[in-house]
Structure 1
Amino acid sequence: MSETKFNKTLLSVSHVDFSYPKRNLFTDLNFSIANGERVALVGPNGIGKSTLIDLIRKQIQPDDGQIICHGEINYVPQVNDQTVINDSKSAGEKRLALIENTIWLPGSLLLLDEPTVYLDDTNIQNLLYLLKNYDGAILVASHDLDFINQLCERTIILQPNNAVYYPGNYAQYLEQKQLDKQAVHNFNEKRDILKQQITEKVSTLKQKSTDYNHFAKTQDNTGRYPSRSHDHVQKGLN
């Protein structure tokens, strides 16, 4: 795949707002997907992963902003058929067959919603091979973190009314997040130590100032005036 082809933008999500009657889901959502990219869509249940996919597919319309896809979209939904779910082997086989058939359809952007549900380890590896060699871009919503870490090189993490865009897989995002957390902890720890040192230094200087004032007052009681050197010391202490 050429570099030029890889850099071609297939999907552009610009300043998208979307809300349900009693819940705001997205505010000023922005991201793009280029040809050849494998992007993970991550977040807890109910955060809006399936809703975002429906917005991209034009099944629902955003309240504001625009979503532009420069090519055809193919979509593999979640498994919701109860008869299939009751037979996990049948579910796995039908799931993989559906994905395989969809992959070969002409299209530029492949949307996958929980693609590894009911697939065993062997079929998951087969699926990874197919998706890694897919000639187009992929956006996959999944709770299977091992799967998306093997497949995806970019991650969109949906949070309440917010989204984090990370130029790496989800494992790298978590590692960076931990490093950032540790850096903040180290900074706060150093700040607290420095604050304590400053507090102790100020306390020492205050005590020296108090002691010197007492000394100067004693000298005044003898009828002598404090010398210029004493005044100079007092200014320094202050």
Structure 2
Amino acid sequence: MPATCNVVVLLSGTGSNLQALIDSTRAGDSPVRIRAVISNRADALGLQKAQDAGIDTAVLDHRQFDGREAFDRALMALIDDFEPQLLVLAGFMRILSATFVRHYHGRLLNIHPSLLPKYKGLHTHQRALEAGDSEHGCSVHFVTEELDGGPLVVQAVIPVQSGDTPQTLAHRVHAQEHQIYPLAVRWFAEGRLRLGQQGVVFDGQPLAVGGHSIRS
């Protein structure tokens, strides 16, 4: 792993996780360099956050392409122009093709607002409350062809409180996302984290199936 790890971030929305990544790179010893931020939506607020930080941005509108595969091929070409060692999904609201996922195997991270493997997909906070769960949280994982099913790197666990609504739970989970995503990205940039043949490897040792667990 090079002394500086070039990272490309994909997003579709406000970019709160992008901002957390930007803030984390401002530490003088950070090996992470956010090389570019790419969105499929020209109105994504995250693009402005990137521009304010002096980061290159690009827009590729999926509606201009004939299907997912065509869009993903163009997206891969755009990403590869920036020569990233790591690709980070930060609220990128597109289901990626198998071709795309295989192209970036072992260097594609995502964050999901649940304690995977629970509640893959959408409406995770509502589903956790409806199930009566005592704990909830978020997960960083390597992306594979299985939606929200890749090997886990780290999870943040928070207690569900008696008066929680989906909104209050989401607020507290977001705060944890902003802690663990920059942490996982830094681990990768430092060469401590990689995806091996048998699963996630951390500091040269196989990581437990559930990844690191951080409780608050």
Band the TM-score falls in, shorter-chain normalisation:
0.3 to 0.5
Question: Which of the pair has more CA radius of gyration?
Answer: 1
Q: TM-score, normalised by structure 2?
A: 0.34
Q: TM-score, normalised by structure 1?
A: 0.32
